[in-house]
Amino acid sequence: EIVLTQSPATLSLSPGERATLSCRASQSVSSYLAWYQQKPGQAPRLLIYDASNRATGIPARFSGSGSGTDFTLTISSLEPEDFAVYYCQQRSNWPPLYTFGQGTKLEIK
C-alpha cells in the first residue's frame, strides 16, 4: 500500500502570503497525484489532478508540481476563502488503490 505523508499538519499564514504544502509518497506514483480542498461541512473540491493540472474552475493562484514521490501545492497569494483543509490523493495504476494523505490545515494567522 502506498502511504502519503503531508506536511506540515497545520500552516498558519495571513491573507496575501504564499502557501506551500507538501505531500510525499512512500513509493513512486509517477504523476498520478491530486489535491483537494475541504471546508467545514462541505464535500471536498478537486483543485489539481495529475500533479500539475488545474481542475475546471480553479483559480490560477493554485498550482501543483512534482513527480515520483515528492509533490507540492502552492497558493501564490492567499485569499480569505482559501483557509481550509487540503488533502493529496494518489491514483497510481499499480497497485490500483487510491489513498489520501492525512491533510494539512491552512489557518489564518
**By CB under 8 A, residue 102 contacts other proteins:** yes
Amino acid, res. 42 = Q
In Å, how far from its chain's centre is CA 11?
13
Select the span of 16-24, 65-73, 81-89 touching other proteins (CB under 8 A): 81-89
- Report how far residue 24's alpha carbon sits from residue 90's, in angstroms, rounded to the nearest whole number: 10
Q: Which of 36, 62, 71, 83 binds other proteins (CB under 8 A)?
A: 36
Contact at 8 Å (CB) between 17 and 83? no
- Report how far residue 51's alpha carbon sits from residue 4's, in angstroms, rounded to the nearest whole number: 14
Q: Which of 46, 52, 61, 74 binds other proteins (CB under 8 A)?
A: 46
Select the span of 15-23, 38-46, 63-71, 72-80 touching other proteins (CB under 8 A): 38-46
Contact at 8 Å (CB) between 39 and 64? no
Q: Which is nearer to other proteins, 13 or 85 (CB)?
A: 85
Binding site for other proteins (CB under 8 A): 1, 36, 38, 43-46, 49-50, 53-57, 85, 87, 89, 96-103
